[in-house]
Amino acid sequence: MGQGLEAAIVAVGQSRYVRRPEPGETTHTFIRDAILAALADAGMAASEIDGLAVTSFSLAPDVAIDLAWRLGLSLRWLHQDTNGGSSAMNMLGHAARGVHCGAARNILVVAGDATGLAGYAKIAANYNRATSDHLAPLGHGGPNGVYSLVTTRQMKAYGLEKSDYGHMAIAQRDWAAKNPFAVYRDPLTMDAYLAAPMVADPLTRYDCVPVVAGAQAIILTRPDAARGPHAPVHIRAVRNSFNFDNQRGDGLRTGISTFADDLWEAAGFGPDAIDVASIYDDYPAMVLAQLLDLGMIPDGDLGRFAREAIGRDRRPINTWGGMMSAGQPGGPAGGLNGISEAVLQLQGRAGARQVAGARRAVATGYGMTLYRYGGTAAAALLERAS
């Protein structure tokens, strides 16, 4: 996929994000609310949608076609992704190619979850067969247990201190304070970060994403057919990686390392041209790992990058507050939030958190913890139409 791709994101929509849904609020209603917001944002009628992609941990027993039916959408392109934190990025790639190839004119991409805490715990214990057979019986506590070990490994390998991760949590909380959708907006100090209760050593409360209910939606169409009020955001390149190392590595590199050079080359610009980055932040360690793999930490000094680029300079990374402060409505929807934020930034619609003159963004997805770490990774490069 290169610069000739004829597909653009023209609208975004979001439901409210809540820690505990009200009676009657379900995954389906959050998804509906996000779709209505996206349609309004596009100035588009539901009848104009002829493609739908969805991801959710809690849509079952319904699948994509059930959702189309419930929404009254008659389609000629339909997709459902089940790859956790990279699902949104996968859907973006499939939808972009679908529009580019003429399989559909206007594709709605939606992600949402309302698992509740008990529902999330059940999903975490039965995430896949390896988890239910070999991890859950140990009392691994879901992904926190897995990424606590990865984080310790990263700290040893790169000489990181606990406070290095704190810079990320604090910076993202500062961004979240400017995002009315974020569930946590109060300022966070380093003292509070370091004093937070331990969840799974060395992960403390602020290293772990809060489970919320909510949904996101975006609409893709051909740039030349875009007639909405907002500038189309071009998808310059999308790349994906699945099971790149068969879980035989240490989890400190992601599948992004396999395609980063190709990604930048396809887009025609490099890491230095990025104004805004939405990096999938299921855990701070994985944000640093993805930035490293993207080539955005050229000297490989993760600690210095955390302290200086994120902590001191407030490099625009996860400007919506990230999942760590805005909340994670299931891994799939969290990934779409990062894409949505990049679009808002590039369209100059990010309100108080707007990055001046933002023209190019990178968004990533990472997830599907197969056993010792995630098995999927993806990234997209987005550019505002000039």
- Tokens coding 308: 């200086």
DSSP character for 124? Answer: H
Cβ atoms of 367 and 84 closer than 8 Å? yes
When asked if residue 332 is in the footprint of another protein (CB under 8 A), the reply is no
Residue with Cβ nearer another protein (248 or 299): 248
Q: What's the rounded Cα separation, in Å, for the pair 207 and 203? A: 6
Size of the site for another protein (CB under 8 A): 36
When asked if residue 24 is in the footprint of another protein (CB under 8 A), the reply is no
Strands (E) located in the chain:
8-14, 51-55, 77-80, 107-113, 198-200, 203-204, 214-221, 233-242, 276-278, 360-369, 374-384
Residue with Cβ nearer another protein (63 or 196): 196
When asked if residue 157 is in the footprint of another protein (CB under 8 A), the reply is no
When asked if residue 241 is in the footprint of another protein (CB under 8 A), the reply is no
Comparing C-alpha atoms, which of 34, 64, 51 is closest to residue 102? 51
Q: Map residue 36 onto helix, strand or coil.
A: helix
When asked if residue 148 is in the footprint of another protein (CB under 8 A), the reply is yes
Q: Map residue 1 onto helix, strand or coil.
A: coil
- Tokens coding 384: 């505002």
**Residue 155 CB, nearest distance to another protein (Å)?**
9
**Residue 87 CB, nearest distance to another protein (Å)?**
21
DSSP character for 309? Answer: I
**Residue 134 CB, nearest distance to another protein (Å)?**
6
When asked if residue 161 is in the footprint of another protein (CB under 8 A), the reply is no
Comparing C-alpha atoms, which of 233, 177, 201, 206 is closest to residue 347? 233
When asked if residue 140 is in the footprint of another protein (CB under 8 A), the reply is yes
**Residue 138 CB, nearest distance to another protein (Å)?**
4
- Tokens coding 51: 């493609």
- Tokens coding 179: 């995002």
Please report, as residue ranges, which positions from 106 to 135 form the binding site for another protein (by CB under 8 A).
117-118, 120-121, 124, 129-130, 133-135
Element counts in the chain: helices (H) and strands (E):
13, 11
When asked if residue 163 is in the footprint of another protein (CB under 8 A), the reply is no
**Residue 204 CB, nearest distance to another protein (Å)?**
10
**Residue 139 CB, nearest distance to another protein (Å)?**
4
When asked if residue 85 is in the footprint of another protein (CB under 8 A), the reply is no
Amino acid found at 76 = R
Q: Which of 45, 138, 352, 356 binds another protein (CB under 8 A)?
A: 138
Residue with Cβ nearer another protein (143 or 214): 143
Please report, as residue ranges, which positions from 336 to 375 form the binding site for another protein (by CB under 8 A).
371-372
**Residue 215 CB, nearest distance to another protein (Å)?**
21
Comparing C-alpha atoms, which of 247, 228, 216, 181 is closest to residue 44? 228
CB-CB neighbours of 278 under 10 Å: 28
Amino acid found at 255 = G
Q: Which of 141, 255, 311, 322 binds another protein (CB under 8 A)?
A: 141
When asked if residue 51 is in the footprint of another protein (CB under 8 A), the reply is no
When asked if residue 283 is in the footprint of another protein (CB under 8 A), the reply is no
**Residue 157 CB, nearest distance to another protein (Å)?**
11
Indicate the burial class of 357 (C-beta count within 10 angstroms; 0-12, 13-18, 19 or more): exposed
Please report, as residue ranges, which positions from 187 to 206 form the binding site for another protein (by CB under 8 A).
197-203
Binding site for another protein (CB under 8 A): 117-118, 120-121, 124, 129-130, 133-135, 137-142, 144-146, 148-149, 152-153, 156, 197-203, 211, 246, 248, 371-372
